[in-house]
Structure 1
Amino acid sequence: MQEEEDGAAREFLGSVLRDLPGQRQQLRPGSRTVSREEAQGELAELLLGFLGNRGAPSWLSATLVNAAVQQALEGDLSSYLQKKDATDLQELENESPKEEDIYCSDLLLNHCLSCLQDITTMWQSCLPPITRCSRQLIVSAHAIRNTRRKMEDRHVTLLEFNQLHGLTDGVERSYFAVFDGHGGVDAANYAAAQVHVQVANHEALAQDPARAVKESFQRTDAMFLRKAKRERLRSGTTGVCVLLEEERIHVAWLGDSQAILVRDGCSVTLMEPHKPEREDERDRIESLGGCVTFMGCWRVNGTLAVSRAIGDINQKPYVSGEGDVTSHVLNGSEDFLVLACDGFYDTVSPSEVPELVFSHLQENAGDGRSVAERLVNAAKEGGSGDNITVLVVFLREPVKVLENFLAQGCGEAKPLFDFGGKVETGSDHAG
């Protein structure tokens, strides 16, 4: 089986080598400039998209992207530095501490593509040993713009998290996230590319992964605020991410995007969204000198309907970039996770999710690959006009989930997380 996969991989690499010269001019970075800290995430995002659009096996693309990006960022990058004009120099004189080096995204991308070509050439003739993810997960994702003028949601699925980031500690990890942008797509794009990099590079990942996931939101927020100041960006994004680490899940969030767990056919509340009307959020905002007012819904300073987000430079510190986290040990009774933006949860309650998934599986003989589309359609039919993004991660085979539903029925279980800092049975950490 692996020999067949390796043969198909070499054939794919050969096609990349044939087509890459003609494709290089079509690849464009998302922004004109990038800092050294941002470069790993932005380059990985571009290369993953390029290889994914060509149908690359995820285990191959993750490892290949890691090798190309790491090679590209080694050594002297001074030739790719962005030249500063007189205005930039004047601004630098007023900055304290010293401004970080900024690189031309196009030049850095071309350098990275040359590294990709070199590594692909070597691997096409002699494919190195590549670790595959032993956990085979079925993931269903669907997103629509709906009635909004722009699509500002982003979602991320990284089954081979370790391979993408070169982690070799023997702890298998996968990562999933949904980001719901507002005021533009820049913050959501940024978070989709950067949060998982911050998780992987966090010094506490091995000993305290919950802390690593939680603090990665705030670190990404700080990075984006520097970029927002540099490029005069005003957008923001909420987000929820899940780090699946062998038999444990770490769920981190800020804002009103949410994740739920379905266990033995019942929806389990994992988290409480950050909304201005929450008493603790209102107290925090007012203690900083801000206000919470009702204008169709509760809003921070009469503008945003969320109290925590990455970005929103004009609303800091009232809109916090600090996330929350909760962790749980899986005992084998878990069916699936659902990550979604508020455009979904506005019209579909967590308790409705199991029945929707069950109905879809029953109608499709246990095939869960398009179940996210069913959930998105349910939200739209329920009256949601917002962008809608849904990501479903099956923690056991969809056919087994169907059998479990038939045996157990569905409903709503007791929350694992009581929102007061206490953890219920089945969970070992709350933040």
Structure 2
Amino acid sequence: MDLSKKNNKDKGDDITSNDDNKINSRISMDKPIKLSLGEINVVDNNDDLNNSGTFKLNIDNNDELDDNNDNNDINPCKGLSFSVGVSENKNSKYRRTMEDVHTYVANFCERLDWGYFGVFDGHAGKQTARWAGTNLHNLLYDSIINDKFNDLRENLNYSFLEADKEIAKLKDVGSSGCTAAVAVLRWEEEVEEDEDEDEEGEGEREGEKEEGVEKDIKSNEINNEGPFDFIPSKKHRRILYTANVGDSRIVINRNGKAKRLTYEHKGSDKNEIKRIYKSGGLVLGGRVNGVLAVSRSLGDIYLKEFVLGNPYTTMTELNEGDKFIIIACDGLWDVCDDQEAVSLIKDLTDAKIASEKLCTYAIQQGTSDNVTVMVVMLDTRIFGYTKM
């Protein structure tokens, strides 16, 4: 069986950030949710690692971590079946500025144990990456809550395209753009065949999952004595959705083997070259119109006719063999292949330590780019807490 179902069509606490980096949480008060912490991190780092996985929201530090910061002891993933660690390095030997941005939101869409994770690698400035890091999850939130599509891959595609439209309206983004790798982890409840037929005679396609927005939160009580705030029923399935444009990558460790869930949109890709030429563009030296190395991105308005914002998307059902997810920019992948990255951290259980190890490794291997590595550790004990 294939690891993922692929689609190539071409807020928990929802977190938003305004221009002053002030945080506003939008929470539905009629649902019994547990307040949790997520993170938006838009920083110009120095060369010291910035391990931001255990911080509260809106840590905007331009220096190394402050050991006296009370936020250091806060675990934003308590009660969840996953934990997140992020490490970054500007890599000043080769780069004057830090153009990467990352975002994660716990209990995404006001649903227990859902997660949103994103890494945005800016180029020609960080304006687009910053905008995407602070806004894309809100577009996705609205799309999901409004039941715009039955398939979250469609929600992701829609949100990426809406983001591109909004970025094009901004005056301060200039010629900047960014690659993006986004993952959404959530629980879905399978629909019984007779339930499908009862709904106006419109049954779902075989193997398709129900959106189940209301069912996901109501089917289980949050008052339990175990380590998790959400206990799945036997009908629940743990699903990972991914979307990417450009060359940022998402890799999952499945039974010790690396499985890539993204597609690299580059000027050297034969399919992308064909598409670009068909649209009237050129690829010179592996670059779109001789300028841009990636063939899909957010922003890059001056090349938008050829450099699309349509993401590559996947859907993967997770099981006990899936241990962690790595989301990183090309600063890691330029010097480390998928299996090597998985093998380097396969024996670690702390997401922050794992992300730091990969980030440090990339620098030691001589990467010439900014480096951002996000590791999402999956607590497989959740499969043993199934509720009847």
TM over 0.5: yes
1:336 match: 324
Alpha carbons of 1:345 and 1:396: their partners in 2 closer, same or farther (altered >3 Å)?
same
1:369 correspondence with 2:344: no
Structure 1 equivalent of residue 305 of structure 2 = 317
Q: Is the 8 A contact 2:332 2:373 kept in 1?
A: yes
Partner of 1:183: 124
Between Structure 1 and Structure 2, the one with more strand by share is: 2
CA contact (8 A) 2:17 2:24 kept: no
SS in 2 for 1:319: coil
Q: Which residue number in structure 2 is paired with residue 326 of structure 1?
A: 314
Deviations 1:290-323 (A, max 9, x none): 11111xxx11111110001111111121111111
Asked if the contact 1:343–1:384 (Cα under 8 Å) also holds between the matched residues in 2, the reply is yes
Residue identity matched to 2:130: N
* CA-to-aligned-CA distance 1:374-413 (integer Å, 9 cap, x gap): 101111111101000000000127x99xxxxxxxxxxxxx
Deviations 1:199-251 (A, max 9, x none): 11114467221110122111101100011xx3462100000000101200110
Q: Secondary structure at the match of 2:117?
A: strand
Alignment match of 1:355 (pick from 318, 327, 343): 343
Q: CA separation in 2, counterparts of 1:176 and 1:45?
A: 22
1:266: how far off?
A: 1.1
CA shift in 2, pair 1:287/1:174, >3 Å: same
**Bigger-Rg structure (1/2):** 1
Instruction: Name the residue aligned to 2:162.
Output: 219
Indicate if the aligned counterparts of 1:199 and 1:205 stay in contact, CA closer than 8 A: no
State the alpha-carbon separation in 1 of the partners of residues 152 and 325 from structure 2: 19
Instruction: Identify the residue that residue 156 of structure 1 maps to in structure 2.
Output: 103
- Other-structure match for 2:364: 381
> Hey, what does 1:207 align to over in structure 2?
150
Native 8 Å contact 1:299 1:306 kept in 2? yes
**SS state of the match for residue 252, structure 1?**
strand
Q: Which amino acid aligns with 1:214?
A: N
Is residue 371 of structure 2 the alignment partner of residue 396 of structure 1? no
Q: Does 1:145 align with 2:81?
A: no
Do 2:36 and 2:106's aligned partners in 1 also have CA atoms closer than 8 Å? Answer: no
**Alpha carbons 2:127, 2:173 under 8 Å: kept:** no
Q: Secondary structure at the match of 2:167?
A: helix
Q: Tell me how far apart the structure 2 counterparts of residues 44 and 249 of structure 1 sit (CA, whole Å).
A: 31
Cα root mean square deviation, aligned: 2.8
Aligned residues of 1:48 and 1:62 also touching (Cα < 8 A): no
- 1:169-224 deviation digits (Å, cap 9, x = unpaired): x6752100000000001000000011101111114467221110122111101100
Residues 17, 23 of structure 2: 8 Å contact kept: no
What residue is the counterpart of 2:61 in the other structure? none
Task: Identify which of structures 1 and 2 has the higher relative contact order when contacts are C-alpha pairs closer than 8 Å and 6+ apart.
Answer: 2
DSSP 3-state at the match of 2:102: strand
**Residue 81 of structure 2 is aligned to residue 136 of structure 1:** yes
Aligned residue runs from structure 1 range 25-424, under 5 A: 41-43=16-18, 46-48=21-23, 60=35, 134-146=79-91, 147-163=94-110, 172-202=113-143, 203-204=146-147, 207-227=150-170, 230-231=171-172, 233-246=174-187, 247-294=238-285, 298-358=286-346, 361=348, 366-396=349-379
Q: Which range moves more in the overlay, 329-338 or 205-214? A: 205-214
Amino acid corresponding to residue 17 of structure 2 in structure 1: E
- Aligned partners of 2:322, 2:353: CA distance in 1, in Å? 20
Structure 1 residue 350, shift from structure 2 partner? 0.2
User: By percentage of residues, which structure has more helix?
Assistant: 1
**TM (normalized to structure 2)?**
0.64
Residue pair 2:81, 2:378 contacting (<8 A) in 1 also? no
Identical-pair percentage? 31
Query: Displacement of 1:358 after TM fit?
Result: 3.0
| 1:190 match: secondary structure | helix
